[in-house]
Amino acid sequence: MEQQSTIQWYPGHMAKAKRLVQQNLKLVDVVIELLDARIPISSRNPMIDKILGSKPRLVVLNKADLADPEITEQWEEALKEKHIITVAVDSVKGRGFAEIPKAAKRLVAEKMAEMAAAGRRPRAVRCMVLGIPNVGKSSFINRLSRRRSAKTGDTPGVTKGKQMIKINKDMELLDTPGILWPKFEDAEVGLKLAATGAIKEQVVNVEEVALYLLKILTKIKPENLTARYKLSDIGEDSFQLLQQIGARRGMLLSGGVVDTHKAAVLVLKEFRAGKLGRISLERPGEEGIN
């Protein structure tokens, strides 16, 4: 990717962020690993298993309303086969959230039983949300805790002032989400993250990202493109397709030349908003989740 080096998010903070996550791990019983349901492989840190160790983990496939429902079900089954409890959610409308406290409780049932047998008073399961920047952690926490604004962000912060949010009698949530970064060893990881909006457009080549997305969509959902942009036929040339889309939407410069940058911004915006349909860019069987 042309600007791949630019999107190594805050590399100087990565070690600090990892240490902060490890400190927070000591405070909780369960980690909720938040992934984008459209790109579960690219939206995770490949070091997650090493970082968590034996800590119980609940995988949440966020933005499931934008992903292909059949492929999301395949992901849930594939992760279940690896003994990973998984819940698909929509943070905007709240679908799937009722399952999260139940799943968290199941993950630590044995630990809680041991505590009770030792004469300790029962308590709520303590959880923290972990994920890469811009995967929807703040929106997820806000929806789960039923409040409008969480004091959260995607920049590693200081460790003081932590608090637990009471979700219900069975679950508490650490207010501050854990931040981990993806690795861009594969250029396609960066392109997929950029396509879904996890990487801001200011630091990527927008046309390159749109061309990459169109290349995938012409293979997996060509009918969605022809229907959305009223095209009679699309070939394999992504740049030509981008020009067709721009022309159909009247995005022309002087002399009738298509403004491909403007067309690229449109394609990405409509994909992210679900206007091209519910589309997953990754499916089980591809490398990435152990």
**What structural domains does the chain harbor?**
4-179 (3.40.50.300), 205-272 (1.10.1580.10)
Confidence of residue 287 (pLDDT cuts 50, 70, 90): low
d(CA 172, CA 71): 31
CA 98 to chain centroid: 19
Is the Cβ–Cβ distance between 35 and 131 less than 8 Å? yes
- pLDDT higher than 60, residue 289: no
pLDDT of residue 184: 72
Mean pLDDT of 77-83: 93
pLDDT of residue 13: 67
Q: Tokens representing 28?
A: 């909780």
pLDDT of residue 1: 37
pLDDT of residue 2: 40
Neighbours of 147 (CB within 10 A): 10
The pTM score is 0.88
- pLDDT higher than 90, residue 201: no
Instruction: Name the residue among 190, 204, 203, 214 with its Cα closest to residue 270.
Output: 214
**Among 112-121, 209-218, 224-233, the least confident range:** 112-121
- pLDDT higher than 80, residue 266: yes
Mean pLDDT of 198-225: 92
- pLDDT higher than 90, residue 70: yes
Residue, of 139 and 267, whose pLDDT is higher? 267
pLDDT of residue 156: 36
d(CA 181, CA 44): 8
Is the Cβ–Cβ distance between 177 and 129 less than 8 Å? yes
